[in-house]
């Protein structure tokens, strides 16, 4: 059923919406309502995000997630027609490969994100779409997927690259989508937070990405900062 096209659109939309509302909702509740005063000294922009900004973010996030749901349908279409490297028995490649495949998807996605994001800033035609994301002058968890539909489609370009190149199990894909949501919410949280494991030197942090929303010629990365450091766009 996981790879059945008939169920995919509705299930995909539900899973995307629930996962996003849960992760962004918890982050928003903790940092912007419950612990707001306690963590105020860590807030990167002392002002609270304007209601108008959050309203626009919710609208654009909803359209992005709807487009992502359609991509699940397409993924299953490709799978059923034998275009992908998707495999359904974890034993085929073993558990070590299962976890390695998640890591490979993250590394590939980071490179794709860096270059597509940088191009969206450098090519004026593409920046017309990306500027929707930069309306979020004061990033918060609801900014994570606030993209123009064209940018949402560009961001999906990583999926065929992964599906056609790397053997992946559907559970690894679900884990990868969850990492994308978690990490996107984290870099938009608007607070200087480094969780235990999220403190390694080449990590792209909420602080780094907050700076990108203010000075857009730096920090194009998603999970890591090594592309930025290598291409001298890190600040
Ligand atoms: Zn952003
Ligand atoms: Zn940008």
Whole-number Å distance, alpha carbon 23 to ligand 1 midpoint, is 16
C-alpha–C-alpha distance, residues 180 and 174, integer Å: 10
The strand pairing partners of 43, in sequence order, are 191
Whole-number Å distance, alpha carbon 121 to ligand 1 midpoint, is 12
Q: What's the pLDDT at 193?
A: 82
Q: What's the pLDDT at 14?
A: 81
Instruction: Tell me the CA distances in angstroms from 116 to 33, 108, 153, one per residue in order.
Output: 34, 12, 11
Whole-number Å distance, alpha carbon 83 to ligand 1 midpoint, is 32
Within 8 A by CB and 6+ apart from 81, the residues are: none
Whole-number Å distance, alpha carbon 189 to ligand 1 midpoint, is 10
Q: What is the pLDDT along the chain (235 residues), one digit of tens a residue?
A: 566 666 666 777 788 889 999 999 999 999 999 999 998 999 999 999 999 999 999 999 999 999 998 888 889 899 999 999 999 999 999 999 999 999 999 999 999 999 999 999 999 999 999 999 999 999 999 999 999 999 999 999 999 999 999 999 999 999 999 999 999 999 999 998 876 455 667 889 999 999 999 988 899 999 999 999 999 999 8
- Which of 224, 138, 126 minimizes the C-alpha distance to 183? 224
Q: What's the pLDDT at 4?
A: 66
Whole-number Å distance, alpha carbon 78 to ligand 1 midpoint, is 30
Instruction: Tell me the CA distances in angstroms from 32 to 43, 47, 49, 50, 132, one per residue in order.
Output: 10, 11, 9, 12, 23
DSSP secondary structure letter of residue 133: G
Residue length of the chain: 235
Q: What's the pLDDT at 196?
A: 47
Residue burial 139-170, b: 16+ Cβ < 10 Å; e: rest: bbbbbbbbbbeebbbbbbebbeebbeebebbe
């Amino acid at each position: 059923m996981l790879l059945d096209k008939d169920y995919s659109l509705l299930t995909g939309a539900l899973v995307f919406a629930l996962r996003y509302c849960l992760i962004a909702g918890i982050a928003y509740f903790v940092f912007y309502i419950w612990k707001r005063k306690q963590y105020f000294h860590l807030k990167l922009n002392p002002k609270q995000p304007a209601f108008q900004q959050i309203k626009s973010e919710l609208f654009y996030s909803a359209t992005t997630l709807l487009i992502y749901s359609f991509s699940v349908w397409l993924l299953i279409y490709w799978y059923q027609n034998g275009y992908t490297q998707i495999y359904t028995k974890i034993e085929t490649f073993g558990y070590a490969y299962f976890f390695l495949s998640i890591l490979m998807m993250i590394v590939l996605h980071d490179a794709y994100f860096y270059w597509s994001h940088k191009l969206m800033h450098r090519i004026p035609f593409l920046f017309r779409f990306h500027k929707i994301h930069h309306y979020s002058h004061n990033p918060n968890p609801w900014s994570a997927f606030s993209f123009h539909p064209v940018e949402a489609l560009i961001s999906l370009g990583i999926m065929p690259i992964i599906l056609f190149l790397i053997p992946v199990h559907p559970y690894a894909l679900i884990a990868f989508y969850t990492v994308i949501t978690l990490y996107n919410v984290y870099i938009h949280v608007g607070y200087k937070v480094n969780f235990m494991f999220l403190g390694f030197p080449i990590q792209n942090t909420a602080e780094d990405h907050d700076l990108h929303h203010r000075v857009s010629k730096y920090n194009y990365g998603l999970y890591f900062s090594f592309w930025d450091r290598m291409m001298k766009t890190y600040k």
